[in-house]
């Protein structure tokens, strides 16, 4: 069954772009029913428009409470016929009102190897800490920020002289690969959650092994 996605963005939307490209290339059986942003200026909204996708901006500052903002988002998302939520650089904390509405079909990408470096400055925190491996995580969302069951992670090296920007760029390359891959698995009905553990049902697809400078587990499949 084709996934009916709402993609939520606050900024550049490069992950949104990777997802659009993968859908247009026929790699994921999904339709983006809505791209929603809390910011008028989010470049992700421009990207969506370029591809003829429906967009909505809901300015969170116009709402007295997080709950009221979340209710407005729920209404827009439902009215566009989406029921799978893809958080792609959406920089607002979601309340239980939103999460309970769509749970368990909410996924997020975080630019760190969770559970390390939660929060809004993960790349800066990792670069500052001096870790030798950084990375990104796609996970199901629960009511605690950056905490839900992990679907896939990619690790990248942190080299001498790296800073927040160079590490961030290296992480982002892998974000653009693992997010579409995770959505493909979801669309194929191959993900099941058992407590903290996500089980990926096997397929016939050829796997891409560990590559120079990158480690992805579970392995990427051909085309990603
Ligand atoms: C990404 O690093 C993502 O992991 C984080 O916010 C950033 C969004 O980038 N949650 P973009 O808007 O997809 O380019």
* Closest atom of ligand 1 relative to the 16 alpha carbon: 13
The predicted structure's pLDDT at residue 210? 59
Residues 37 and 95 in one domain: yes
Q: How many domains does the chain have?
A: 2
Boundary (domain end) residue, out of 76, 102, 128: 102
Whether 89 and 4 map to the same domain: the answer is yes
Is the domain of 41 the same as that of 121? no
Q: In CATH, what number is assigned to the domain containing residue 93?
A: 3.40.50.170
**Whether residues 94 and 124 fall in one domain:** no
In ligand 1, which atom is closest to the CA atom of 171?
2
What are the CA-CA distances from residue 140 to residues 79, 88, 96, 125, 200 (Å)? 23, 13, 14, 23, 13
Do 155 and 127 share a structural domain? Answer: yes
Do 3 and 98 lie in one domain? The reply is yes
Q: Among 51, 60, 80, 110, which one carries the catalytic annotation?
A: 110
Same domain, 121 and 197: yes
Among 79, 102, 125, residue at a domain's last position: 102
The last residue of one of the domains, among 102, 118, 135, is 102
CA of 78 to the centre of ligand 1 (A): 24
Question: CA dihedral defined by 32, 177, 190, 54, rounded to 10 degrees?
Answer: 0
- Binned at pLDDT 50, 70 and 90, residue 221 comes out as confident
175 shares a domain with 71 = no
pLDDT of 10-58, one tens digit each?
Answer: 999 999 999 999 999 999 999 999 999 999 999 999 999 999 999 999 9
Q: Which atom of ligand 1 is nearest to the CA of 136?
A: 4
Instruction: Report the C-alpha gap between 199 and 196 in whole angstroms.
Output: 10
**Same domain as 143, residue 186:** yes
Q: pLDDT confidence of 65, banded at 50, 70, 90? A: very high
DSSP string, the chain: --EEEEEEESS--HHHHHHHHHHHTTSS-EEEEEEEES-TT-HHHHHHHHTT--EEE--GGG-SSHHHHHHHHHHHHHHTT--EEEESS--SPPPHHHHHHHTTSEEEEESS-TTSS-STTHHHHHHHHT-SEEEEEEEE--SSTT-SPEEEEEEEE--TT--HHHHHHHHHHHHHHHHHHHHHHHHTT-EEEETTEEEE---SPPEE--BTTBEEESPEETT-
Q: What percent of the chain has pLDDT over 70?
A: 96
- Are 86 and 172 part of one and the same domain? no
- What pLDDT, on a 0 to 100 scale, did the predictor assign at position 27? 97
**What are the pLDDT digits (tens) for 126-158?**
999 999 899 999 999 999 999 999 999 999 989
The pLDDT of residue 212 = 42
Same domain flag for 114 and 98? no
For residue 122, give its domain range: 109-224
Tell me, yes or no, if 80 is annotated catalytic.
Answer: no
Residue 81 has pLDDT above 60, yes or no: yes
Ligand 1 pocket: which of 15, 141, 176 to mutate (most atoms <8 Å of CB)?
A: 15
Q: How many alpha carbons fall within 13 Å on the CB side of residue 18?
A: 23
Which of 10, 11, 138, 145 has most ligand 1 atoms within 8 Å of CB, for mutation?
11
- If asked whether residues 118 and 95 sit together in one domain, one would say no
Query: How does pLDDT run across 156-204, given as a tens digit for each residue?
Result: 989 889 999 999 999 999 999 999 999 999 999 999 999 999 999 988 8
């Amino acid at each position: 069954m084709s996934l009916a996605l709402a993609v939520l963005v606050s900024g550049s939307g490069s992950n949104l772009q990777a997802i659009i490209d993968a859908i247009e290339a026929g790699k994921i059986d999904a339709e983006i029913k809505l791209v929603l942003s809390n910011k008028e200026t989010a470049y992700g909204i421009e990207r969506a428009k370029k591809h003829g996708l429906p967009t909505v901006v809901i300015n969170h500052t116009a709402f007295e409470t997080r709950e009221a903002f979340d209710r407005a988002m729920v209404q827009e998302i439902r009215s566009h016929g989406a029921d799978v939520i893809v958080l792609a650089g959406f920089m607002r904390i979601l309340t239980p009102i939103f999460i309970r509405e769509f749970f368990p079909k909410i996924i997020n990408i975080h630019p760190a190897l969770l559970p390390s470096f939660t929060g809004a400055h993960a790349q800066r925190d990792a670069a500052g800490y001096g870790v030798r491996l950084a990375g990104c995580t796609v996970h199901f969302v629960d009511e605690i920020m950056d905490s839900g069951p992990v679907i896939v992670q990619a690790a990248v090296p942190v080299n001498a002289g790296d800073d927040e920007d160079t590490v961030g760029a290296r992480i982002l390359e892998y974000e653009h690969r693992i997010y579409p891959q995770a959505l493909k698995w979801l669309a194929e009905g191959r993900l099941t959650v058992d407590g903290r553990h996500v089980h990926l049902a096997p397929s016939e697809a050829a796997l891409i092994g560990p590559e120079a400078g990158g480690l992805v587990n579970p392995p990427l499949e051909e085309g990603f």
